[in-house]
Amino acid sequence: MIVAFSDLDDTLFQTRRKLPLGMDGLTPATLGRDGQPHSFCTPAQSALLAHFASSGVTLIPVTGRDQAAMARVTLPFTSWRILDHGLTLLRPDGGVDLDWRTYVLTQLEPLQDALADCTAAVTGLAAEHGCRLTRHTAHGTHFMTVFKHPDADATQLEQMQLALEKHVERTYDSGLHVIANANNVSVLPRGLGKSEAVRHLRETQFPHATLTLALGDSLSDLGFMNACDLAITPPGGQLLRTVTAAKLPQR
Ligand SMILES: [Mg+2]
């Protein structure tokens, strides 16, 4: 049995804005809140999905999307799904896995004060940098605060990220960490996320998988990519851009 754990946005599909102008052969993969096609698979991404489907590879999405945003993904997923950055597991029948929910709530409980305190501590700074603040919940419990810049201003977001990292590293004894994407900076639990969910599913549902693949584009995907046998990442994604920019000495 082969299992592929895959991030969604910017790995299996992306918005038109991120694709070459006038690219042909796009397949809609998600709907926007207005019900119109929003993200698309390129012919290469469609070929990969078709190959997985025809060769019996079990494909498991590993995404930051919540259940509402996942419902707007029109790709046919039939097995387990990892949502909310790993904090929610959906069973193949679509129901929320209650054992994982209980575990997650136990882990989140001692972090509530730190999350609230950290969010309050940088609220003023977020306003100064023009970032909008959103509290995200899983199972009705605060697990992440996201600072989003409406124009994805890299300088403002970097200032925000540095300040947040400084505060978090100084104050919370590794309970929280900061991740950054193209248009946002987020603070969330360090020891509970995509990689823990992937490890949990590997152990409990797929202990006999002969090969596990991991697909992701972002630094925040690295944890779960390291928990699989082989990792696949798209060119131009945050991961490869970072590695390319690092100019590591060749040994
Ligand atoms: Mg992604």
Q: In angstroms, what is the span from residue 119 Cα to ligand 1's centroid?
A: 24
For 203-240, the pLDDT digits (tens) are: 999 999 999 999 999 999 999 999 999 999 999 899 99
How far is ligand 1, taken at its centre, from the CA of residue 238, in Å?
A: 9
Cα(7) to centroid(ligand 1), Å: 6
Contacts of 85 (CB under 8 A, 6+ apart): 63, 64, 143, 144, 188, 193, 194, 220
Ligand 1 centroid from CA 117, angstroms: 28
pTM of the full structure: 0.92
Cα 26 → chain centroid: 23
Ligand 1 midpoint to CA 211 (Å) = 22
- Burial (CB < 10 A; 0-12, 13-18, 19+), residue 2, is middle
11 CA from centroid of ligand 1 (Å)? 5
Q: For residue 207, how far is its CA from the centre of ligand 1 (angstroms)?
A: 26
**For strand 2-6 and strand 58-61, is the pairing parallel, antiparallel, or unpaired?**
parallel
Q: What is the pLDDT of residues 159-184, one digit of tens each?
A: 999 999 998 888 877 699 999 887 88
Measured between alpha carbons, how far is 8 from 85 in angstroms, rounded to an integer?
11
Q: Measured in angstroms, how far is the CA atom of residue 251 from the centroid of ligand 1?
A: 30
Q: Give the pLDDT band of residue 247 (cuts 50, 70, 90).
A: confident
DSSP 162-229: HHHHHHHHHHSTTSEEEEE-SSEEEEEESSSSHHHHHHHHHHHT-TT-SEEEEE--SGGGHHHHTTSS
**Would you state the pLDDT for residue 181?**
82
What structural domains does the chain harbor? 2-87+193-245 (3.40.50.1000), 109-189 (3.30.1240)
Give the largest CA-CA distance in the chain.
52
Predicted local confidence at residue 82, as pLDDT: 98
Q: How far is the CA of 246 from the centre of ligand 1 (A)?
A: 20
> What was the pLDDT predicted at 250?
72
Q: How do residues 4-47 score in pLDDT, each as one tens digit?
A: 999 999 999 999 999 999 899 999 999 999 999 999 999 999 99
Gap from CA of 8 to ligand 1 centroid (Å)? 6
The first and second tokens of residue 248, run together, are 């590591």
Rounded percentage of the chain residues whose pLDDT exceeds 90: 86
For residue 10, report the distance from its CA to the centre of ligand 1, in Å.
5
Query: How far does the centroid of ligand 1 lie from the alpha carbon of residue 63, in Å?
Result: 8
pLDDT confidence of residue 40: 97
Lowest mean per-residue pLDDT among 154-158, 199-203, 223-227: 154-158
CA of 141 to the centre of ligand 1 (A): 23
Copy the structure tokens of residue 155: 């300088």
DSSP single-letter state for residue 93: T
Q: Are 217 and 238 in contact (CB under 8 A)?
A: yes
Ligand 1 center–CA 234 separation, angstroms = 10
**pLDDT score recorded for residue 78:** 95
